[in-house]
């Protein structure tokens, strides 16, 4: 079934943190939009754990920052071990007048708070709606959306691993087949790294990926590690381990072992932890490959890209979600001023510079070449003592490496 409609509301595709933030900033600025999401339910994954001062600053007027602060744990700096010989420390003291710290908070909670704020501002996410294609026409975008409604029976069968019945498959086919043709004045693709918006308007996503897999575990630990510091270990033979607290709501945490995120570019990351004992099964384990890519442009006609749809990089530096929320803020300001056509010019150089810095840091952290291992073990510990270098590294890690003027 194809339903052709002429509508006026602009469209945001994807209700991850970036799409939600864009819809929220726009709603608060009096701009009504439609926001669609292909998944049936909010995300439960902890993915982005570190919220940076820039994000706290731009979300402050929405009331979301205050709620984040009530729930998250403040990370005041980082502790490094460079092989077995050297160690070092950085402190975030004084980096920001109100937020001189990073905030450890699960991405699922950040998304929930953004969605609640969006609803309070009069917006609503339409779930089970997927963008299948979009096309620039004169002064507007023609979009095809598909309903992905799962029948209730299907959901319960899937939950219990049962074989679906034939009625149930028929119901799935009829609801999943409904499509809608929608015409809107502009569209923001915030639909993640495999963006359909980017693909169907024909924008390339240039860059490279790292061959070796990275490993992640969110696991309860008995440990003497300082929970208010990120922990970074560069191992003698190459490889790294990164460790930070996983927090959904500090007010509800029990007194026992706390949950930590361990990321390494070697298998069995938990076995690589010093001073720590695993206190239960991991609540999330994953393997992934990192890539550093940026879209050739962030605007084509009336289609715009933000967040992972526009740029991806390794989780080192904790920038992905934070940078995407900043894209959303800049975009919304330009919409309010009627200056959307400045978006690519203003934003792409900033995003490109961040992807470049993170790619360099990731090369060093991976320690897969003799050169990078030498820098990590023998040069980095001394550079960290040099104030200008230390301050520049802190600015990259906290998202304060560029002004946010528009
Ligand atoms: C292990 C790990 C750790 C990380 N740590 C950090 C960190 O500490 N700090 C940080 O800033 N970042 C971090 N990141 C990166 C962060 O998770 C991403 O940058 C962030 O999720 C990007 O948000 P987004 O909204 O652009 O995309 P996504 O979160 O991918 O959201 C896109 C949304 O669009 C929906 N969608 C996709 N296609 C369609 C379609 N065709 N139609 C409708 N909807 C669609 C998806 O279902 C999804 O909900 C980490 C990532 C990983 C994997």
Residue 403: other Cβ atoms inside 10 A: 7
Task: Answer yes or no: are the C-beta atoms of 57 and 96 closer than 8 Å.
Answer: yes
pLDDT tens-digit map of 359-368? 998 888 888 7
Tell me if 327 CB under 6 Å of ligand 1: no
Tell me if 307 CB under 6 Å of ligand 1: yes
Q: pLDDT band for position 156 (50/70/90)?
A: very low
User: What contacts 196, CB < 8 A, 6 or more positions away?
Assistant: 13, 130, 131, 132, 133, 134, 189
How far is the C-alpha of 140 from the C-alpha of 132, rounded, in Å? 17
Ligand 1 center to 404 CA (angstroms):
22
Question: Which residue has the least CA distance to atom 37 on ligand 1?
Answer: 191
User: What contacts 385, CB < 8 A, 6 or more positions away?
Assistant: 88
pLDDT tens-digit map of 187-235? 999 999 999 999 999 999 999 998 889 999 999 999 999 999 999 998 8
Question: Which residue has the least CA distance to atom 38 on ligand 1?
Answer: 191
Question: What does 161-221 look like in DSSP terms, one character per residue?
Answer: TPPPPHHHHHHHHHHHT-EEEEEES-EEE---TT-HHHHHTT--EEEEE-SS-EEEEEEEE
The pLDDT assigned to 272 comes to: 81
The pLDDT assigned to 35 comes to: 98
- Spell out the domains of the chain, with CATH numbers in brackets: 2-49+107-208+292-364 (3.50.50.60), 50-105+211-289+367-406 (3.30.9.10)
- Asked if the model's pLDDT at residue 64 lies above 60, the reply is yes
Q: What are phi and psi of 83, to 5 degrees?
A: 60, -160
Tell me if 321 CB under 6 Å of ligand 1: yes
What does pLDDT average to over the chain?
89
- Asked if the model's pLDDT at residue 340 lies above 50, the reply is yes
Overall average pLDDT of the 341-347 stretch: 97
3-state SS record for 338-406: CCHHHHHHHHHHHHHHHHHHHHHHHHHHHCCCHHHHHHHHHHHHHHCCCHHHHHHHHHHHHCCCCCCCC
**Mutational test site, ligand 1, from 11, 12, 13, 14, max ligand atoms within 8 Å of CB:** 14
Ligand 1 center to 118 CA (angstroms):
18
pLDDT tens-digit map of 168-180? 445 444 455 689 9
Tell me if 49 CB under 6 Å of ligand 1: yes
Global pTM reads: 0.91
- Asked if the model's pLDDT at residue 239 lies above 90, the reply is no
Question: Which residue has the least CA distance to atom 41 on ligand 1?
Answer: 131
Overall average pLDDT of the 311-325 stretch: 93
Tell me if 77 CB under 6 Å of ligand 1: no
pLDDT: which is higher, 79 or 163: 79
Ligand 1 center to 147 CA (angstroms):
21
The pLDDT assigned to 105 comes to: 97
The pLDDT assigned to 2 comes to: 40
Query: Half-sphere exposure of residue 25, counting CA atoms within 13 Å on the CB side?
Result: 22
- Asked if the model's pLDDT at residue 164 lies above 50, the reply is no
Q: What are phi and psi of 178, to 5 degrees?
A: -75, 130
Tell me if 324 CB under 6 Å of ligand 1: yes
pLDDT: which is higher, 336 or 8: 336
Residue 406: other Cβ atoms inside 10 A: 14
Residue keyed to tokens 């701009």: 31
Q: pLDDT band for position 236 (50/70/90)?
A: confident
**Mutational test site, ligand 1, from 19, 144, 179, 191, max ligand atoms within 8 Å of CB:** 191
């Amino acid at each position: 079934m194809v339903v052709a409609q002429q509508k006026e509301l602009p469209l945001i595709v994807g209700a991850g943190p970036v799409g939600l933030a864009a819809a929220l900033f726009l709603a608060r600025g009096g701009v009504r939009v439609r926001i669609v999401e292909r998944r049936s339910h909010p995300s439960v994954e902890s993915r982005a754990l570190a919220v940076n001062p820039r994000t706290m600053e731009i979300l402050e007027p929405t009331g979301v920052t205050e709620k984040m602060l009530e729930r998250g744990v403040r990370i005041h700096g980082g502790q490094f071990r460079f092989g077995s010989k050297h160690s070092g420390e950085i402190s975030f003291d004084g980096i920001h007048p109100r937020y001189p710290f990073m905030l450890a908070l699960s991405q699922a909670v950040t998304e929930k708070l953004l969605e609640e704020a969006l609803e309070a501002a009069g917006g609503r996410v339409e779930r089970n709606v997927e963008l299948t294609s979009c096309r620039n026409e004169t002064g507007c975008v023609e979009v095809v959306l598909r309903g992905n409604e799962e029948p209730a029976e299907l959901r319960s069968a899937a939950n219990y691993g049962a074989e679906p019945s034939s009625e149930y498959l028929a119901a799935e086919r009829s609801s999943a087949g409904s499509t809608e043709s929608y015409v809107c004045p502009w569209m923001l693709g915030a639909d993640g790294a495999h963006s359909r918006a980017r693909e169907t308007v024909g924008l390339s996503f240039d860059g490279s990926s790292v061959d070796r897999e990275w490993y992640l575990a969110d696991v309860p630990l008995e440990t003497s590690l300082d929970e208010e510091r990120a922990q970074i270990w560069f191992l003698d033979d190459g490889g790294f381990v990164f460790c930070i607290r996983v927090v959904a709501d500090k007010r509800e945490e029990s007194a026992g072992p706390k949950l930590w995120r361990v990321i390494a570019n070697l298998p069995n990351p938990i076995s690589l932890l010093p001073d720590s004992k695993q206190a239960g099964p991991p609540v999330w384990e994953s393997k992934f490959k990192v890539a550093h890519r940026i879209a050739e442009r962030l605007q084509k006609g009336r289609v715009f890209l933000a967040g992972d749809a526009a740029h991806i990089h390794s989780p080192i530096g904790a920038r992905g979600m934070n940078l995407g929320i900043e894209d959303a803020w800049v975009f919304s300001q330009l919409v309010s001023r009627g200056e959307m056509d400045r978006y690519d010019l203003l934003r792409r150089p900033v995003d490109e510079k961040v992807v470049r810095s993170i790619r360099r840091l990731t090369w060093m952290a991976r320690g897969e070449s003799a050169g990078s291992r030498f820098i990590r073990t023998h040069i980095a510990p001394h550079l960290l003592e040099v104030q200008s270098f230390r301050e520049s590294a802190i600015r990259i890690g906290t998202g304060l490496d560029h002004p946010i003027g528009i």
